[in-house]
Amino acid sequence: MKAPFVAIARHRIQTDGQGVTTLCGFYGCPLRCKYCINPQSFNEKTKTTAMTPQELYERVKIDDLYFVATNGGVTFGGGEPLLYAGFIAEFRKLCGDKWRLCAETSLNVPNEAVRVAAGCIDEFFVDIKDMNVDIYKSYTGLDNTAVTDNLKLLLSLVGSERITLRIPLIKNYNTERDRESSVDILKSLGFTKFDLFEYKIKEK
Ligand code: SF4
């Protein structure tokens, strides 16, 4: 089993959760966010590196001491890492429990991917965009029905402590009030950890 990667970035400190982490960015994303920060993750011209779980493990284990000493590990991003949940599950078998594995995901993926990821990822950072269907669709190009279903599924499988929901203020797409509404909906579902921020948009 090989998966395509667009980037491996070492020595990130307390960027996602705890400790020193290496970001492993997969190629491929179902969304087309208007202010996408990683368009190389779906651009057809992007040069990717295909690796097996074993090859990735060999490459990132150079930082084993840092990971273990700081309770850090590997953050899977992209693109959409849960498109490769089976790969991550194989990677977990190689690194064991000594590393902390995180995923940055939109959860706009099949249910089965969430079930697999729940069994091998320690902490999830979910990029919500906005809970309003129309706002979500105009910003990403897809609807968020799968996201809502997967949020409930993930919460039932891993509990709220292992999930941080990122909810941006998106210029020209949502308002403070929309964002408050998203938070209210998510609190009512049982989520407790939120990261509210504003997208920095470069004016052309
Ligand atoms: S989910 Fe991330 S990688 Fe995918 S289009 Fe949106 S910002 Fe870009």
Give 55-93 pLDDT, tens digit per residue. Answer: 999 999 999 999 999 999 999 999 999 999 999 999 999
Atom of ligand 1 nearest to the CA of 42: 3
The mean predicted confidence, pLDDT, of the chain is: 95
pTM: 0.96
Ligand 1 centroid – CA 140 distance (Å): 8
- % of the chain residues with pLDDT over 90: 92
Atom of ligand 1 nearest to the CA of 41: 3
pLDDT at 159 over 90: yes
- CA pair distance 130, 179, nearest whole angstrom: 7
The domain segmentation of the chain, as residue ranges, is 3-197
Task: Tell whether the torsion through CA atoms of 91, 93, 98 and 101 is positive or negative.
Answer: positive
Ligand 1 centroid – CA 144 distance (Å): 14
Question: What are the strands, taking DSSP E only, across the chain?
Answer: 3-13, 20-26, 49-51, 73-77, 100-105, 123-127, 163-169, 194-198
Average the pLDDT over 13-36 and give the result.
91
pLDDT at 204 over 60: no
The best mutation among 6, 27, 34, 37 to test binding of ligand 1, ranked by most ligand atoms within 8 Å of the C-beta, falls on 37
Protein residue closest via CA to atom 8 of ligand 1: 36
Residue 157: both structure tokens together: 């499988």
Average the pLDDT over 157-175 and give the result.
97
- CA pair distance 63, 146, nearest whole angstrom: 36
Atom of ligand 1 nearest to the CA of 31: 5
pLDDT at 18: 80
Protein residue closest via CA to atom 1 of ligand 1: 31
Atom of ligand 1 nearest to the CA of 108: 1
Protein residue closest via CA to atom 6 of ligand 1: 33
Atom of ligand 1 nearest to the CA of 127: 1
pLDDT at 189: 98
Give 91-138 pLDDT, tens digit per residue. Answer: 999 999 999 999 999 999 999 999 999 999 999 999 999 999 999 999
Q: Which residues line ligand 1 (CB under 6 A)?
A: 29, 31-33, 36-38, 41, 78-79, 106
pLDDT at 203: 62
Ligand 1 centroid – CA 28 distance (Å): 9
Cβ of 51: how many Cβ atoms within 10 Å?
A: 20
pLDDT at 17: 65
pLDDT at 12: 87
Per CATH, the number for 3-197 is 3.20.20.70
pLDDT at 201 over 80: no
